[in-house]
Structures are given as C-alpha cells and as structure tokens.
Structure 1
Amino acid sequence: MERPPAPRWWNDARGRALFYQAALLAGLGGLAWFLIANTLANLEARHIATGFAFLGQEAAFGIGEHLIPYSAADSYLRAFVVGLLNTLEVSALGILFCTLLGGLIGAARLSPNPLVRALAGGYVEAVRNVPLLLQLLLWYALITEGLPAPRQALALFDSVFLSNRGLKLPVPLWAGATPALCLAVAAAALAVMALAWAARRIRARSGRQLPTFRLAAALLIGLPLAAFLAAGAELPLERPRLAGFNFTGGVTLTPEFAALLFGLTVYTAAFVAEIVRGGILAVPPGQTEAALALGLSRGRVLRLVVLPQALRVVVPPLTSQYLNLTKNSTLAVAIGYPDLVSVGNTAINQTGQAVEGVAILMAVYLTLSLGLSLAMNRFNARVALRGGRP
C-alpha cells in the first residue's frame, strides 16, 4: 500500500513555528548588524576612537570618596572600580537599613495603638508620594546648610566632630590589639553562622529550640573582648583634628554619602513597610489565635509564628525594592556623590567614548541586578513551602 505524501512544512505547525523563529532571529541579527555598522561608520567619520583601550589610560581626575587607594594618576579602569565600590557600599547599607526600618514601620501599621498606626501610615503616604530626587536634595540641603562650619563644629565626644563637611570619626590604626580584635570579630561571625546552621538542624530533627540569640550575643561580644584583653587592651586611634578650614585625620562620613544613604533608606522603607504589612495580613488569623491560646506573648507570636510565614509572601516583592534601591543610587550624581554613574560620566566627557562608557555602565548594573535577583530567588526557594510527593 502506498504511503501518503508527507505534509509540506508550511502545513505543519512545528515547521511553521521553526520558520517564524528563524525569521525573527534573522531579522533581529540584521537589525543589530545595521545598528553596529552604522554606529562604527559614524564614529570613524568623526574620527572618534573606539574600543576599550582607554581603560588603561591615566584618568587625570580625582574622586573625593574611595574605599581603595586612588589618585588622579591611576587608570580609568581603577576609577570605574572605585565608583563601583562606592555604589556597592551605599546599596548594601541602604538595603540593610531599609529592611530594618520598613519592617518596623510595617508592623507599626498594624499596631492596636491608633496613634502609632496613624504615624506609620502618615510616614508611608508622605514619603511614597514625593519623588526621590527631591528628597535627596532636601536631605543634602539640611545637612550642608543646617550644620555649622568646621571651625564651629559640634564636638559630640572627645574625637567626634559634626559639621557641614560631614561627621569626623577616629579610625583604629593597624597596631596594638587591632589585628587580634579584627580576627576575633571574623571568627565570631563564622561561629554565629555555624551556630545558626546547627540550631536549624537540631530544630528540624528533634524540635528542640536552642537559645540562639543569647549564644550568638555571647560569641559576638565575648570572643572579641577576650582577644582584646589578651592582646594588651591597647587600641591606638587616628583622631581627627582641625587644621585650617577643615579637619584632617580620622575617617569622614561625608554629607553626600549621608544624604544619599538616608534618602534611599527612608524612601525605600516606605515601600518595604507596605510589603511587610501585606505579608502579615496574608497569614491566616487562626495562626495568631492558636499561638496566643498556647500562652505565647504577642511579641513571640509575631517573631516565631507570623513573620516566618509572612516571609514567603514578602520575599518576591522585596526583591523588586532591593533592585529599585540599587538602581536609584544613580541619582547620587545630583548631590555630588561619586558613584559609578558619576565616575562614568566624567570618563565619557574626557575621552569622548560614550558608547563604550554607557556599555560598561549597562553591563555592570545588569550584572548587579541579575546577581541580586539570583541571591533573593535562592533565599525564596529556601523559605518556600514544599509540598509532599504524591
């Protein structure tokens, strides 16, 4: 018996799908080739250099704040690294503080006290409806205009001074008991992480709850204190002192950094508060009632029963707010904080290689966003409910 002829590809759903996908990829590839070729031709016609060789050239501009040593004689690559570290610093601290502040305000939004509830609601409504850029300018103006000049600086302690140039703090020197103290702090942090892991394993196997908080506090305080005393209890400090019109020595918390960190924290915390409030309300009321019936205090009910369940609802939208905070840090250029975008703009203006500079900025922020999303997704997978096998 003769076989029927095979259907032609345009009569087959799979064949049509492959054709459409191939056509779409070809179209996108052609468009990309046209844009790249056109850009290169225009740059060549205007005698503008292309490529990333400029990263090895001398930057010839200073950066006011840097976590690693930097001078104007360093390369553009090192300048980009300095800007990236500044961005990471303010983003990491902003994420930490907005989480703490937002969680506190979110819980206050559900307080039985009407005054606390009204104050928390007023904060959320006021902060969320004012653009972040205006808030940054406000905090920066309050810090620079509302504080005295260095000669009239407020002496908070013996070696701590507050002025419109920032907060000057003493910094420990790498001598005396400082090395032993740093090693002890790192060892205590690792011990606390091991303790938390062991406590989870014990709770999962036997249901027994270890006094994790008290043990962690004892490790974080006792181990560094013992190392400090054993090393001679000597902590040499580099203290700030007034020299001319400004302070020298010590470490400075600049007005630009403080205004940016405070603005990002306050703004993002308002959104985090609503996320936390929604997560708490998503927990069935019966869970709270059952915990209260067992004799738990309201504080322990919130910490041990409600928040662990609300975390499963909170984490996904919280990831978006963390990403927004990291990307909103680019507004630092408005108040003079040398973040990655500010350094990139200076490099672009000096070299004229805007395409490469913008490509670097896009690649860095794409990497940061994807990395943060990956970390939060892994954490979300750990706290998510796992259904049993059928």
Structure 2
Amino acid sequence: MKVNRSTVLQILFVVALAAVLAGMANTAHDNLVRQGIATGFDFLGDRTGWDVSASILPHAASDPYWWTFVIGLSNTIALSITCIVLATAAGLVLALMGAGRSRILRGFTQLYISMFRNIPLIVQVFFWYHLTRQLPPVRQAVEFLGCCYASNRGIYIPRLGLDADFNLEFTLPRLQGFNFVDGAYVSPEFMALAVALVAYNVAFVAEIVNSGIRSVPRNQREAARIIGLSDARTFWQITVPQAIRVAVPPLINQYISLTKSSSLAIAIGYTDLFSVGILAINHTGQSFNVVAVLMLVYLVISLGISALGNAYNRSVTARGMR
C-alpha cells in the first residue's frame, strides 16, 4: 500500500509534539518534587475547610474539594446560560431596531454598540457592582411587583421548587429580623456580573445579527416584492432564515467568549469555577494540578458550546435546502 508523503509528515509531527509535551511534563514533575510540592489529584478528596459565598447546590466547609469544584462549575454554567439567553434576546431586538427604517432607532443602535463594545468588560463589572452596593439596606429594601425586594444584599424573589416530599412548593420572601427568609435569593455579585456580561455582549450579538441581515442579497428582497410578498413576510421568511445561517458561527464564538469572560467573577467575589480553583491553589499549593483541571473543564465547556451551535447550524441549513 502506497503511503502519502503528507500523511507521514503529519504522523511524524504528532509524534514529535507528543515527545515534546511528555518531556515538558516530566521536567515540570521533577521540578515540583525538588521543591517539595506534592503532585497528583488526591487532594480532591480532602476536606476544604471553607465555605462558598453563594451557590445553587448545597455546600458546607466539610465538603471535599471535588464537590467544591462542582459548586463553582454549576455557578459558572448558571451565570453563562442566563447571560447567553438574555444577551441573545436583547441583541436580536437591538439588531432589528438597527435594521429598521427609523433613523432615530438606527442611531441609538449604533451609539449603544460603539459605547458598550469599547468599554473594557472589567470596568463594566465594577461599575454595576458599585451600583448594586448603593441599594438601600434590607430593612429599607425596594419592593416591586408586590413580591420582590431589592437591597444591598441582593434581590429576593418568589421561589417555585420541591419540598421534602417532592411536592411543588411556592414561597414568597418575607422579612424576618435583619434579613429575608423563604423565596429565592440573587446575590449582588451575580446581578453585577449578569448585567455587565449581558450589556457588553448585546453589542456584539446585535452587530453579528446585523451583519447576517446585510449579507442577504438585495435582489432576493426585490424578487419577493415583485411576487407580492409584504415587507414583513419578506423579512421573516426570506431575510431572517438566510441571516441565521450566516450569524450562527460567529455567535457560537461570542457565546464561548462570554463563558470564558465569566471568570472575571473573581474580581468581585462571586464563586465561579475559576475562583474556586484560585482558592484551592492557595489552600493546597497544588497549582499545577488545579490549573490542569481548570483548563480541561473550560476546554470541555467551549467544545460543548461549539458542538451544540454547529449541530443547530447544520439542522437550519438542512431545512433550508429542502
């Protein structure tokens, strides 16, 4: 069997790269041992000794490190999904405003995109976090909708969940002593991060969607008008389906960027995956292994988002070809 020369070169490159990585790993291991720094992942079963500030899942100081990493991962995923959904919805609205015929709306869209896209994200995070700290104390909390309260400790909203017998339970927040009980709680750190990430990424989502809309050839819209389609039907049945196929790949990259940007949570004390990793390094000294865990988890998250986006894009393309 005749072997292609390019195949042989690729195999040799992969072998050489694996040898270099193995040599680097061996050198790093020797240096860590020489400095008395333990290696391995046995620390994941050790007791942390510290608690997280806020989490979706239950956590205590007696929990092991592996569960604390799960807590941080759940917070990162919850924050990312919330921001992706809100940024997509608001970005679509902003893009539609910019694609309209109103000069005022187009001007507002361009102003928003130019302003929020060019302000560093970390600056926006600190700005919104500072605003959340300006809310009144708990006893003077701002009430809205008759069941929600906003204070400098966070937002308290109704909660729909399951009780100990797995029955649906609806509870409203109520003031008891110096804090609210029952209901659901959204921390100031989560609010600040969500608002900053959404406000920042809305500008990029709107620009991406606008680019997709502009990519549709004008002659197709003119042909639709000739056959008697209204402007609304032309936009939703001809322009939007083609714009989606163009916009999805860059939107996937933007969602991945948003998820990685959630690591800025450490700047204001929100317990996400990255901040849990930093705390674990400070308490165990296992910097090499903790960083390896963080890199692997973020890689899996990014590849998962990319796979979901590509699958959706393929399904949209297949429906358009029928």
Q: Normalising to structure 2: TM-score of the pair? A: 0.91
- SS of alignment partner, residue 384 of structure 1: helix
CA–CA separation in structure 2 for the residues paired with 1:138 and 1:295: 50
Aligned residue type for 1:320: N
**C-alpha displacement at 1:23, in angstroms?**
4.8
CA–CA separation in structure 1 for the residues paired with 2:150 and 2:6: 70
Aligned residue type for 2:176: A
Is 1:109 paired with 2:42? no
Is 1:95 paired with 2:28? no
Q: Which position in structure 1 is the counterpart of 2:190?
A: 257
Q: Which position in structure 1 is the counterpart of 2:124?
A: 135
- SS of alignment partner, residue 252 of structure 1: strand
Is 1:39 paired with 2:34? no
**C-alpha displacement at 1:60, in angstroms?**
1.2
Q: Say which of 159, 174, 196 aligns to 1:171.
A: 159
Q: Which position in structure 2 is the counterpart of 1:363?
A: 296
Paired residues, what number? Answer: 318
Aligned residue type for 2:26: A
Q: CA deviation digits over 1:72-96, x for unaligned, max 9? A: 1111010000110111111111111
Q: Which position in structure 2 is the counterpart of 1:193?
A: none
- SS of alignment partner, residue 104 of structure 1: helix
**C-alpha displacement at 1:16, in angstroms?**
8.5
- SS of alignment partner, residue 180 of structure 2: strand
Q: Which position in structure 1 is the counterpart of 2:269?
A: 336
Q: CA RMSD in A?
A: 2.4
Q: Which position in structure 1 is the counterpart of 2:306?
A: 373
Aligned residue type for 2:24: L
**C-alpha displacement at 1:42, in angstroms?**
1.6
Aligned residue type for 1:249: D
Where do 1:210-221 residues align within 5 Å?
Answer: none
- Structure 2 unpaired stretches of 5+: none
Q: Say which of 77, 86, 91 aligns to 2:75.
A: 86
Aligned residue type for 1:39: A
CA–CA separation in structure 1 for the residues paired with 2:160 and 2:14: 58
CA–CA separation in structure 1 for the residues paired with 2:76 and 2:173: 26
Where do 1:123-272 residues align within 5 Å?
Answer: 123-145=112-134, 147-172=135-160, 174=162, 179=167, 237-272=170-205
Q: CA deviation digits over 1:118-168, x for unaligned, max 9? A: 0011000001111111111111111112x1111111122443211111111
Change (3 A) 1:93 1:251: same
CA–CA separation in structure 2 for the residues paired with 1:93 and 1:84: 14
**C-alpha displacement at 1:297, in angstroms?**
4.2
Change (3 A) 1:316 1:173: closer
Q: Say which of 223, 239, 242 aligns to 1:309.
A: 242
Q: Normalising to structure 1: TM-score of the pair? A: 0.76
Say which one has the larger Rg.
Answer: 1
Change (3 A) 1:371 1:16: closer
Q: Which position in structure 1 is the counterpart of 2:55?
A: 66
**C-alpha displacement at 1:14, in angstroms?**
4.8
Change (3 A) 1:293 1:65: farther
CA–CA separation in structure 2 for the residues paired with 1:14 and 1:299: 55
Q: Which position in structure 1 is the counterpart of 2:221?
A: 288
**C-alpha displacement at 1:17, in angstroms?**
6.7
Change (3 A) 1:99 1:173: closer
Q: CA deviation digits over 1:98-137, x for unaligned, max 9? A: 1111111112112211111100110000011111111111
- Identical aligned pairs, as a percentage? 40
Change (3 A) 1:286 1:342: same
Q: Which position in structure 2 is the counterpart of 1:76?
A: 65
**C-alpha displacement at 1:288, in angstroms?**
2.6
